Structure 1
């Protein structure tokens, strides 16, 4: 199962306009933000991450609600976090 998981942008990668470091419940990974408008996201913003891409910008309340829901999925959520932890697109 592939899930869209909320993550907070903690860094915009210098020299890479399409990459940002996103924190997803303690897992930090580079994700591609090229599908979003360049001026749409910045450090501190929340995005919905799916297969290494930020698909949309979401607000913090929506991110918290989604993370609560995903936690309730049990193993599917755990598997998705494990896949994220093992990925690296930088």
Structure 2
């Protein structure tokens, strides 16, 4: 199962030149930073916006409140999981 992660946009990059729409964003969540493609996003985000990231693509923009609620729920779910072990279900 895959989860889409809310991440905050730190930088927008236009890799094909000034005349094209921006194609890449640098995003961050809890100190994890990565570049994601914007081709599938519902709109081009601005710096400071939150986007849902799945498989290296920003797919949807969120309000800050929506993103923070999602991130808190993910933290709570992670805290409820047993510690890593060699056993798999």
Q: Calculate the TM-score normalised by the size of structure 2.
A: 0.74
Structure 1 or 2, whichever has the larger Rg, is 2
Instruction: State the distance in 2 between where 1:35 and 1:23 align.
Output: 18
Equivalent residue of 1:34, what SS?
Answer: coil
Provide the secondary structure at the position in 2 that maps to 1:73.
Answer: helix
> 1:4-42 CA deviation, whole Å, 9 max, x = no partner?
11100000114252110001111110001111255x311
Runs of 4+ in 1 over 3 A off after TM superposition: none
Q: Which residue of 1 aligns with 2:30?
A: 25
Residue 2 of structure 1 aligns to a residue whose secondary structure is: coil
Does 1 or 2 have the higher relative contact order (CA < 8 Å, sep 6+)? 1
Q: Distance in 2 between matches of 1:24 and 1:33?
A: 17
Question: 2:2 matched to which residue of 1?
Answer: 2
Unaligned runs of 5+ in 2: 17-21, 82-89
Mapping of 1:46-65 within 5 angstroms?
Answer: 46-65=50-69
How big is each residue's C-alpha offset from its partner over 1:33-80, in whole Å with a ceiling of 9 and x where there is no partner? 111255x3111110011111111000000000000111122178xxxx
Q: Which runs of 5+ in 1 are unaligned?
A: 77-90
TM-score normalised per structure 1: 0.73
More helix by share: 1
* C-alpha RMSD of matched pairs (Å): 1.9
